[in-house]
Amino acid sequence: MANKYYVTIGLEIHAELKTQTKMFCSCKNNPDEDKPNVNICPVCMAHPGALPVPNKQAIENVIKVGLAINGNIADFSEFDRKNYFYPDIPKGYQISQYKYPIVSGGHLADFDVTRIHLEEDTANNKHDRGDFSLIDFNRAGVPLMELVTEPHTFENADIAAKTATNFAKELQLVLWYLGVSEANMEKGEMRLEPNVSVTTDPKKLGTKVEIKNINSFRSAERAIKYEAERMIELMESGKGADIVQETRGWDENKQSTFSQRKKEGSADYRYFPDPDLPKMKLYEAFNLE
């Protein structure tokens, strides 16, 4: 009889928060602004000496999501610098959270939640105008929450794809209900990155692949199923060693995943607490108990 293959999924979901202003400055947070580079200032453009001030509404939004999924709200929380170079992050680092996320634990729709933290969105690169690239910084510094789930192992690719996609749909409903995010996937306000692995032993996790550029629930379901089946085929034909930890993109036209890059380990980012931002005592600040 053929081997039985279990499929494990862990989700990383980003959602842009619906706030008046950006995460660390008083620029308007307007995802519908068509004119490039109008909602910008020295803080979100990273001019020397400009200092960030945390957005209380964004922190409150993440606390609301944490309470809605029965997560633990941290009393102590802080922001860290995630260092990397890319044209769409003008500071040379992204302000994120590492050791002390606002929310730890929780549960929603078949998945245990690891954490929810708050960070800032990147600018938008436009590569479709000719022999050059343009950057629109309207999105730079928009509050972004990231929810990470624990890995969950399923009986087969079909159930894995359906259940993981259902989690994202349920989360979208929670975000809508709380009024904290428009969470429109087509507009990139909610971005889903599933991690997929396959194993013959449900007590041991296989090598995982992270899938990017998914912009609808339908693509999410197809991408997960495709990737799990690709892995199963490799293992079936004795090429399991060809499965490497990497980031793969979803090609909507070809309906398949393709290798993008080997994943960086978290040590490469040189996380450290951002000295420009205050430590936070959330229970006191938000009257929690």
Q: Are 276 and 43 in contact (CB under 8 A)?
A: no
Quick one: which H or E segment has residue 111? strand 111-120
Among 36, 105, 151, 249, binds ligand ADP (CB under 6 A): 151
According to the binding rule CB under 6 A, does residue 149 interact with ligand ADP? Answer: yes
Residue 223 binding target from ligand ADP, Zn ion, none, CB below 5 to 8 Å by type: none
According to the binding rule CB under 6 A, does residue 97 interact with ligand ADP? Answer: no
Q: Which is nearer to ligand ADP, 41 or 205 (CB)?
A: 205
Among 13, 15, 23, 25, binds Zn ion (CB under 5 A): 25
Nearest one of 163, 179, 149, 109 to 14, comparing CA atoms: 149
Contacts of 204 (CB under 8 A, 6+ apart): none
According to the binding rule CB under 5 A, does residue 89 interact with Zn ion? Answer: no
Provide the pairing of β-strand 209-212 with 246-251. Answer: parallel
Tokens for 96? Answer: 């994120």
| Residues 172, 184: Cα–Cα separation, whole Å | 8
According to the binding rule CB under 6 A, does residue 266 interact with ligand ADP? Answer: yes
Among 28, 162, 212, 263, binds ligand ADP (CB under 6 A): 263
Tokens for 174? Answer: 């929670």
List b or e across 25-50, with b for residues whose CB sees 16 or more CB atoms inside 10 angstroms: bebebeeeeeebeebbeebbbbeeee
Among 7, 23, 27, 192, binds Zn ion (CB under 5 A): 27
Give the binding-site size for ligand ADP (rule: CB under 6 A): 17
Residue 150 binding target from ligand ADP, Zn ion, none, CB below 5 to 8 Å by type: ligand ADP
According to the binding rule CB under 5 A, does residue 178 interact with Zn ion? Answer: no
In three-state secondary structure terms, 71 is coil
According to the binding rule CB under 6 A, does residue 12 interact with ligand ADP? Answer: yes
Minimum CB distance to ligand ADP, residue 186 (Å) = 23
Q: Which is nearer to ligand ADP, 259 or 266 (CB)?
A: 266
* 239 HSE (CA, 13 A, CB side): 8
Minimum CB distance to ligand ADP, residue 39 (Å) = 30
Residue 266 binding target from ligand ADP, Zn ion, none, CB below 5 to 8 Å by type: ligand ADP
Among 122, 195, 219, 247, binds ligand ADP (CB under 6 A): 195
| Residues 226, 252: Cα–Cα separation, whole Å | 12
Q: Are 29 and 19 in contact (CB under 8 A)?
A: yes
- Footprint on this chain of Zn ion (rule: CB under 5 A): 25, 27, 41, 43-44
- Footprint on this chain of ligand ADP (rule: CB under 6 A): 8-12, 148-151, 195-197, 205-206, 208, 263, 266
